[in-house]
Amino acid sequence: MGMGFVLLLLEYFLIKLKIERSILCKAEEGDTLEIETLIENNSFIPVFNFVLEDNLSCSDYQESKQRFLFEYLGRDLYETAKYRCKCPKRGRYNIGPFVVYFFDPFGLFFLKKTYKIYSEIFVFPKTFPIRGFPPIRKGILPWFGIATTHVSGNDDEFYGVREYREGDPIKRIHWISTARKNRLIVKQFQRQVFFRATILFNLEKEKNFGEGKDSVAEFMIRIAASVSRYLIERDISLDIIAGTESAVHIQSNRGVEHLQDILKFLTIAKIESKVGLGEIFEGFSRNIPDDSTLIVIMLDKDWKYMPIMLPLEKRNISLIPLILISSTFQYVFEKKEVVKDIRIKLSKTFGFNPITFSRGDNLEEVFSQISI
């Protein structure tokens, strides 16, 4: 027994292991990540009877530890462990650390060593396809999605060159062409104009009715993520204004990278807003572009803020409210009559047919019922 413990101590202090984890850095809620870990013995002696443990913080508690037994690993040799990690909740996670348990030859004692090797992953909110959505018509109507005018100012993309005209900025002079043609030539740019939209929502702590994925905030986040994907895939320039721990404004942009930035924000957004939707709106209303569309994801309890949004029409900003019916997240009862009653009240008060969501709704089906 004494000799076994001595051998264990020698193994613990002399063994040098190299451990590398291979894992994707992005996933969606409900996805299962494939993980492969390589463990290599860089020592001059072999190692016997050890257990490799990885800590999977993105998984449920019951499945958060993966362990593998290796009976022998010779010098300069390696083994691989392949395993999976299911990601049930959105968030940013650090997978790790590794823990290695070294056992004596008789299995009576063990020593453990921690390897602080981490892998950061983002579990994005689960999105769903949107097959119906109110038209986004505000902006300058593009031709094949783009309106182009040729100018020589601070614009989007280089288009070509032309002769200098009075009023053109000197910094736009194309000096090589000017020298070649012996007259002033300026660089010409193509101005691109797209439809524009803003998504506004507030993750208010006191109004986060419901639990888990059936809570108000998680519904809002899934809707915001899916609507963002829908709009950006149609090349619509998109802003995000949100109340979380503090008010956040993600400025207008387009494209895949912009969508990734929005999804990363929604991944880590905390349900910590301590102010109302009206305060968020008033603080950022000037940031909503003229000639655009405002999409508000809100509770029916917050329709009292609707009057302060209606004057946006003077700036040619149209309003699309997506309304969560709070009582369906609080109580269990027949929701059809409640939904019908709220729709009638909103329609009479503000003159539009609202798009409403209730706890338990299939969000994809709700949007599929919207007339395009």
Answer for the pair 31, 90: CB distance below 8 angstroms, yes or no. no
- What mean pLDDT, rounded, does the chain reach? 86
Domain that holds residue 37: 2-124
Over range 322-334, report the average pLDDT.
82
Q: What is the pLDDT of residues 34-51, one digit of tens each?
A: 999 999 999 998 999 899
Stated pTM of the model: 0.80
For residues 73 and 96, membership in a common domain is answered with yes
Between CA 12 and CA 306 the distance in angstroms is 67
Tokens matching residue 210 = 């419901």
Is residue 97 reached through a cis peptide bond, with omega within 30 degrees of 0 on the bond before it?
yes
**Closest to 191 (Cα-Cα) out of 152, 224, 220, 231:** 152
**218 located within any domain:** yes
**137 located within any domain:** no
**Closest to 86 (Cα-Cα) out of 61, 118, 67, 115:** 61
Res. 129: pLDDT tops 80: yes
Q: What is the pLDDT of residue 199?
A: 98
**135 located within any domain:** no
For residues 225 and 340, membership in a common domain is answered with yes
Task: Give 143's pLDDT tier (boundaries 50, 70, 90).
Answer: very low
Run of H or E including 239: strand 237-243
For residues 182 and 233, membership in a common domain is answered with no
Strands, DSSP E only, in 125-205?
147-151, 157-163, 185-193, 196-202
Answer for the pair 122, 267: CB distance below 8 angstroms, yes or no. yes
The DSSP code for 154 is: S
Burial class (CB in 10 A: 0-12, 13-18, 19+), 328: buried
Q: What is the pLDDT of residue 371?
A: 65
**Closest to 18 (Cα-Cα) out of 94, 92, 73, 56:** 73
Looking at 164, 193, 222, the residue that finishes a domain is 193
**86 located within any domain:** yes
Between CA 313 and CA 318 the distance in angstroms is 6
Tokens matching residue 257 = 């990278």
For residues 352 and 242, membership in a common domain is answered with yes
Q: How many domains does the chain have?
A: 3
Can you tell me whether residue 284 is helix, strand or coil? helix
Q: What is the pLDDT of residue 337?
A: 64
Task: Give 351's pLDDT tier (boundaries 50, 70, 90).
Answer: low
Task: Give 174's pLDDT tier (boundaries 50, 70, 90).
Answer: confident
Answer for the pair 71, 48: CB distance below 8 angstroms, yes or no. yes
Q: What is the pLDDT of residues 297-308, one digit of tens each?
A: 999 889 889 899
Q: What is the pLDDT of residue 150?
A: 43
Looking at 81, 109, 124, the residue that finishes a domain is 124
Helical segments of the chain, H only? 2-14, 175-181, 216-233, 256-268, 277-284, 306-309, 326-330, 335-350, 363-368
Over range 54-71, report the average pLDDT.
93
For residues 252 and 328, membership in a common domain is answered with yes
Can you tell me whether residue 320 is helix, strand or coil? strand
Tell me the one-letter amino acid at 207: K
For residues 173 and 200, membership in a common domain is answered with no
Looking at 89, 124, 159, the residue that finishes a domain is 124
Between CA 32 and CA 83 the distance in angstroms is 10
Domain containing residue 349: CATH number: 3.40.50.410
Between CA 16 and CA 45 the distance in angstroms is 9
Beta carbons within 10 angstroms of residue 98's beta carbon: 21
**133 located within any domain:** no
Answer for the pair 285, 314: CB distance below 8 angstroms, yes or no. no
Domain containing residue 89: CATH number: 2.60.40.10
Q: What is the pLDDT of residues 67-117, one digit of tens each?
A: 999 999 999 999 999 999 999 999 999 999 999 999 887 777 889 999 999
Task: Give 181's pLDDT tier (boundaries 50, 70, 90).
Answer: confident
Between CA 274 and CA 245 the distance in angstroms is 8
For residues 161 and 250, membership in a common domain is answered with no
For residues 345 and 227, membership in a common domain is answered with yes
The DSSP code for 33 is: E
20 versus 61: the higher-pLDDT residue is 20
Kindly compute the dihedral angle of the four CA atoms of residues 315, 318, 322, 326, in this order, to the nearest 10 degrees.
50
200 versus 304: the higher-pLDDT residue is 200
Res. 141: pLDDT tops 60: no
Q: Is the dihedral of CA 213, 296, 267, 254 positive or negative?
A: positive
Percent of the chain topping pLDDT 70: 85
Percent of the chain topping pLDDT 90: 60
Q: What is the pLDDT of residue 209?
A: 94
**Closest to 291 (Cα-Cα) out of 193, 222, 364:** 193
